[in-house]
Amino acid sequence: QVQLVESGGGLVQAGGSLRLSCAASTPIFSLLNMGWYRQAPGKQRESVGTITSDGHTNYADSVKGRFTISRDNAKNTVYLQMNGLKVDDTAAYFCNKDGGMRYPWGQGTQVTVSS
């Protein structure tokens, strides 16, 4: 069973930065389109952005220009660089495949942005 392990979250002041990582235990990682998702308390999980197997990215309007997704296929890892963090970015962040039947969700990593 594929495992997704997110890390890198924490408490940061508004305007600060964090870099999240997600390691995937699958030998076909390099073939997968991946996505970052987030879920704030009381809200549905939403897409933050995606990265294709060959590195093309797309972002939600709410994070465009502030967040950057990248990947290292040699490490089976996808990253989320978050700059200019806002209080509204506070959420648990997850990664998973983009579309299709998703893998079991990992535990996520909590990002809390204080004002």
Task: Give the angle 20-60-34 at the CA atoms, nearest 5°.
Answer: 50
- Short-list 19, 22, 49, CA closest to 103: 22
> What pLDDT is stored for residue 112 in this prediction?
98
Percent of the chain at pLDDT exceeding 70: 100
| Burial of 104 per CB tally in 10 Å (0-12, 13-18, 19+) | exposed
Measured CA to CA in angstroms, residue 58 lies from 1, 2, 34, 104, 115 at distances of 28, 24, 11, 23, 28
pLDDT in tens, 85-97: 999 999 999 999 9
pLDDT in tens, 64-113: 999 999 999 999 999 999 999 999 999 999 999 998 899 999 999 999 99
